[in-house]
């Protein structure tokens, strides 16, 4: 019984999905209560679905105009085990929603489109020349601030050893054209080390800052590096 309750609770948790224009989004809707669909940085404009012509064997989709959310309800007499419909957003994206009907409480489905975030990141980057925006990104990383539209990932990789230096990626910032890295550097040797920008950054780097370039034995510092965003494999 405890396992069954735990499974039901997990299924009823809020659902988070990423989607591109024209893509299909799979999710679960409540068989007895409302399911809310909400877009991140966008709003639903219209919904297209086939009507069965019989209310007892059809699901309902209601558009909430203030926030731009939609709510789905399924009658107890609904025979199918899944529903599907198309939704168009106010920013012009179209998604297909394909959802299983599950015996779960009221649930929320949050949908994010990475293209919208990239657009916001591009707007932030274009506020100043790219070289200046690279410096602004370093300032944001140094102060642990989020940047509108940028994806921030905390790294979990162990440190790597380069001679007497221990180097570890702490965080990764990715926007439209810019990518930033927060790196921790520690001196594991027995002598003092002076770090130079050319030692830690590629030649095409746009901006580099080393908080404390002179490291005594056992000392550590943080470096911030900004270059072009070459994609997820960079």
What pLDDT does 29 receive?
97
Same domain, 31 and 126: no
User: Is 195 within a domain?
Assistant: yes
User: Is 204 within a domain?
Assistant: yes
Nearest in space to 103 (alpha carbons), one of 181, 18, 7? 7
Q: Are 70 and 44 in contact (CB under 8 A)?
A: yes
Q: Helix (H, G, I), strand (E, B), or coil: what is residue 184?
A: strand
Same domain, 100 and 127: no
Q: Span 159-168, mean pLDDT?
A: 93
The tokens describing 173, both together, are 């910032």
CATH of the domain at 33: 2.60.40
Same domain, 57 and 143: no
Cβ neighbors of 228 (< 8 A, separation 6 or more) are 177, 178, 179, 204, 206
Rounded Cα–Cα distance for residues 108 and 35 (Å): 6
Q: pLDDT digits over 78-130, tens only?
A: 989 999 999 999 999 999 999 999 999 999 999 999 888 888 999 999 999 99
Total domains, the chain: 2
Same domain, 182 and 216: yes
Same domain, 93 and 138: no
Distance of CA 196 to CAs 14, 35, 66, 75, 217, Å?
47, 55, 54, 67, 17
Alpha helices in the chain (DSSP H): 2-11, 114-125, 130-142, 197-200
Range of the domain at 25: 2-112
Q: Binning pLDDT at 50, 70 and 90, where does residue 16 land? A: very high
User: Residue 9: is its pLDDT beyond 50?
Assistant: no
Among 65, 86, 112, the domain-final residue is 112
User: Is 233 within a domain?
Assistant: no
Same domain, 121 and 104: no
User: Is 234 within a domain?
Assistant: no
Q: Report DSSP state, residue 149.
A: T
What pLDDT does 4 receive?
41
Among 97, 112, 127, the domain-final residue is 112
Q: Span 66-81, mean pLDDT?
A: 94
Strands 82-89 and 94-102 turn out to be antiparallel
Same domain, 103 and 120: no
Same domain, 108 and 123: no
Largest Cα–Cα separation, the chain:
82
Q: Report DSSP state, residue 81.
A: S
Same domain, 41 and 131: no
Q: pLDDT digits over 44-62, tens only?
A: 999 999 887 777 789 999 9
Among 62, 94, 112, the domain-final residue is 112
Q: pLDDT digits over 147-156, tens only?
A: 988 988 888 7
User: Is 29 within a domain?
Assistant: yes
What pLDDT does 8 receive?
44
């Amino acid at each position: 019984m405890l396992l069954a309750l735990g499974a039901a609770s997990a299924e009823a948790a809020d659902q988070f999905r990423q989607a591109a224009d024209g893509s299909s989004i799979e999710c679960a809707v409540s068989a007895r209560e409302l399911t809310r669909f909400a877009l991140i940085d966008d709003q639903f404009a219209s919904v297209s679905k086939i009507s069965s012509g019989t209310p007892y064997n059809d699901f309902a989709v209601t558009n909430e105009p203030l926030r731009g959310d939609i709510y789905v309800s399924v009658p107890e007499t609904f025979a199918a085990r899944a529903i599907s419909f198309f939704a168009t957003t106010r920013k012009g994206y179209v998604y297909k929603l394909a959802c299983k009907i599950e015996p779960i409480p009221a649930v929320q489905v949050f949908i994010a489109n990475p293209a919208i975030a990239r657009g916001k990141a591009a707007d932030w980057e274009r506020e100043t020349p790219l070289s200046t925006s690279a410096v602004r990104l370093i300032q944001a990383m140094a102060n642990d601030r989020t940047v509108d539209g940028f994806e921030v990932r905390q790294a979990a990789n162990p440190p790597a050893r380069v001679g007497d230096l221990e180097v570890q990626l702490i965080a990764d910032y990715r926007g439209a054209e810019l990518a930033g890295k927060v790196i921790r550097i520690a001196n594991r040797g027995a002598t003092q080390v002076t770090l130079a920008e050319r030692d830690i950054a590629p030649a095409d780097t746009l901006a580099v800052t080393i908080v404390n370039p002179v490291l005594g034995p056992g000392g550590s510092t943080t470096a911030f590096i900004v270059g072009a965003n070459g994609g997820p494999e960079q």
